[in-house]
Amino acid sequence: MYESTRGNLSGQRASQAITLGMVPSGGLFVPSSFPALNWLDLQGLSYRDVAKRVMMPYLPDFSEDILSEIVNVYSDGTFDGSNPVPLVSVGNFGVLELWHGPTAAFKDMALQVLPDLLKVSLKLFNRDEDVLILVATSGDTGKAALEGFKNRAGMHIVVFYPEGGVSPVQERQMTTTEGVNTHVVAVKGNFDECQTAVKHIFASDALKAKLLEKQLIFSSANSINWGRLLPQIVYYFWAYLRAVEQGNIAPGGQMNVVVPTGNFGNLQAAYYAKCMGLPIDRIICASNKNNVLADFFKTGVYQSQRDFFQTISPSMDILVSSNFERFLYEMSGRDAKKIQSWYDASNQGSFTVDPATLKKCQDTVYAGWADEEETFETISQSYKAYQYVFDPHTAVAVKVYKDYLSATNDPTFTVIASTASPFKFASNVLTGLEGEQKESWGDEWKALDYLSQLTGWKIPVGLQELDKKPAKKVDVCEPEEITELLQKMFIGKEVS
């Protein structure tokens, strides 16, 4: 069963939590307890079968046969090769490549599964309305969600991204998505403003009532939705299995995990894997210049009302980390009253946790951050040392891991979650590799080819010839105009 982090809803089935996306009156769904799972029982299984074993205890209202069909996406050719998530040894650590799906980002690991989880949940929940999926994206979630939901009967998806706040490749991926049910909107503001506006829409009873008249209900594909977060737990078990198999960890030994994060969902999934019994020791949180999380773990003060920076790692350009609420719920001993007080709107994005909660946070997570110069330097040094190409997000994680090693000398084998292909950010990766921008690269599309020629790495299929694909019309609006735009899209006309 599932309950709200704010104590305002409990006793919800998995299908209800997935259908609703987030708690209507505020808060996020969390499982009432965590099932124990022995990694030894997963040895020798394919990724598909590991996914089934990890997810099944959380989905008691799903039949085993149905879940088997859902996770089959990991072995049906949607992802590259027979191993959709390779663990590659780089120096003295492992790199978990989470970007071998159709959009070349880690979001595919969950967003190729969520549409079917939602479809089944609606049926179990006895809802026959169409679903309107709203997604705020800082870059990668948007395309992965569009790809997962495109041309799905009974489902419509609108993705909102910050105008000028994503990479050219990320933007082009979104605007060239096919599908009669897909819509893309550029919002004049940053990701936090997009995300806040979407959350307000979810809480609007008036808009929900109007949509219901059109036989439409809301749901979310962001990691606030439990159905998005659950599949992400799987690859931490997979990483451990591969590390043992490769001899990097003695059976039963500990593993550290480094996660570059903005919205905290990927890191939260690692913590949940630990709650299930996976031998994870330290979880290392890596932030870019938008270092609200690093500051929190140092001081216990969460302060999102600060300067916002557009960086070369745009998917991490976030100051309001939605999934952090789930983490604080666990760190506070599941004290819903504390969560409610910290996330009270009157706090305006700033709160201070109590000393006991802060100590638990610090004992669980080490946090650090890297600036732009350090990120470029890490891309360059890593390629020279290992002939391995990191995207700007994973490079942040590598830099923070090196800082952690300097501070602790911790010999524990560490896995770094690599969240995107370097080709999604080709110009910035090339700047890191060559020390400066060069006219010979040409535009972003020529930079893809140049990066491939320079490194010998292949351009992911989903990024090839993006510039030649027809782009759909993109609506542009202010954050406060999103509600009006949705009404024009879905209430002012018949839904097709």
- Establish whether 107 is a catalytic residue: yes
pLDDT confidence band for 496 (50 / 70 / 90): very low
- Average the pLDDT over 420-444 and give the result: 87
CB-based burial label for 190 (10 Å; 0-12, 13-18, 19+): buried
- Average the pLDDT over 58-67 and give the result: 97
For 189-219, the pLDDT digits (tens) are 998 888 888 888 888 889 989 999 999 998 8
For residue 47, pLDDT over 90 is answered with yes
- Average the pLDDT over 452-461 and give the result: 96
For 382-399, the pLDDT digits (tens) are 999 999 999 999 999 999
For residue 402, pLDDT over 90 is answered with yes
Average model confidence (pLDDT) across the chain: 94
The CATH code belonging to domain 87-105+227-465 is 3.40.50.1100
Bridge partners of 93?
90
User: Which phi and psi angles does 385 have, rounded to 5°?
Assistant: -80, -40
Note the pLDDT of residue 202.
85
Note the pLDDT of residue 346.
76
pLDDT confidence band for 485 (50 / 70 / 90): very high
For residue 494, pLDDT over 70 is answered with no
- Average the pLDDT over 151-159 and give the result: 94
Q: Are strands 350-352 and 301-303 parallel, antiparallel or unpaired?
A: antiparallel
Note the pLDDT of residue 493.
56
Among the listed residues 52, 107, 274, 289, the single catalytic one is 107
For residue 495, pLDDT over 50 is answered with no
For 220-251, the pLDDT digits (tens) are 898 899 999 999 999 999 999 999 999 999 99
Q: 100 and 81 in contact (C-beta within 8 Å)? A: yes
pTM: 0.94
For 284-300, the pLDDT digits (tens) are 999 999 999 999 999 99
Q: 164 and 139 in contact (C-beta within 8 Å)? A: no
Structure tokens at 471: 């782009």
